[in-house]
Amino acid sequence: MDAYNDAVDIAENPEAAQPQDSLPKPDLQPGEKVFTVALFLVGVFFLIQSLMLWGRVEAPKISSAAALPLFCSGLWTILTFVIMIENLKKTTALSSLQGDAMAALKKGLAYAFPRSALVMLLAIVAYCVSLLLNASFYIVTPLFLWGSMCYLMRKDYVKNILWTALCMAFIFLVFRMLFGVILP
């Protein structure tokens, strides 16, 4: 019965469950404030684009094709602005580093881009550059797929070859044979 009473006490008073000497947990993860600002800027860009489209439309404007993009981008911009204002009041894990901008940037980037994400980002860039340099799609794509699967899973190298072959066969059959797309 004591466990039940303790659970009821904790449910009624959540502060009682936390040790008093623990640090307060931040409200937001590192990078959430910056991400909200980036979303706001993208929303403003699309709002400007939809306003330009709205200006080119003949009457009746409210039922035109420009009404939906204007509504969506306007709503996006307003809501992200409200979220930005609310986020100003909240703390992040980087709030303790307020004076040291470089340390906050390093900690935020380390959180946003762990090692595996950076390796995959570099692999994607290398894949795109090799395609731009006119490397064969049928050589570069299997190497990229197999290398990515081996790096991320770190086992079953033979099974990864089979999955790569299956993916390439699917890509070839669907895009080359069915849709007639000429692959680079």
Domains of the chain, by residue range, sit at: 32-91, 115-178
pLDDT per position as a tens digit, 140-153: 999 999 999 999 98
pLDDT given for residue 82 in this prediction? 95
- Alpha-carbon distance of 176 to 167, in angstroms, equals 13
Token pair recorded at residue 20 = 């008093």
pLDDT per position as a tens digit, 108-164: 777 777 888 889 999 999 999 999 999 999 999 999 999 999 999 888 889 999 999
pTM of the full predicted structure? 0.53
How many of the other CB atoms lie within 10 Å of CB of 78? 13
pLDDT given for residue 8 in this prediction? 45
| Band of pLDDT at residue 7, cut at 50, 70 and 90 | very low
- At 34, which helix (H) or strand (E)? helix 32-56
